[in-house]
Amino acid sequence: MADNDDLDLGDEGGAAAPAKKGGGIKNLITGMLKWIIIGVAAIIVVITIVIVAISINNHNQSKNQSVGIATEDYTSGQRETYDWYKSIGTIQTFTSDEPAATVRVNVFLGYKKDDKATSTEITSRSVEIKEFLRRYFRGKTASELKNANNEEKFQMEIRNGINDKVLSGSKIRAVSFDELSVVDPN
């Protein structure tokens, strides 16, 4: 009987083994599919995070870029404070038109705060500065001077002209008009 017992055990073991193999292949396939889905989901999450981070970075960069005209007047996001030379007085001349219009202008010159050398040079050359301003406005037409959009251009041209043609060792930084009026001939 011992021989029969041995045979029965072999038959049961043989029948049970093929059943396990079929379940193992199903488990292997479902396990692989599970890891493939997890991998694809992880890739999608990483790509989404990268896209969001790039768009936030681009948005912040566009906010930080300056809009408008960049000038040397701005340093580290703050406008420089100037001392102003206001003693030139009102200059009256005529435009280049026929018939000529009358121009009245009072110009203030801005220079670096506490710059005594520039203040002294502007004072000593005030006659030359007045003559430069007279010639400058004599070369303009009434329609140019009346156009408010040209004011900033005039200020830059006057600043550069005085720095290049009148002052020798100093530089003015800004020009402002206290008065700029044009009276047409009638």
**Helices vs. strands in the chain: H and E counts, helices first:** 5, 6
The pLDDT score that the predictor gives to residue 11 is 47
What angle separates helix 116-124 from helix 126-138, to the nearest 10 degrees? 70
pLDDT along the chain (186 residues), means of 10: 48 47 78 92 94 84 53 60 93 92 95 92 94 95 91 95 93 93 85
The pLDDT score that the predictor gives to residue 65 is 53
The two three-digit tokens of residue 35, written as one number = 């890891």
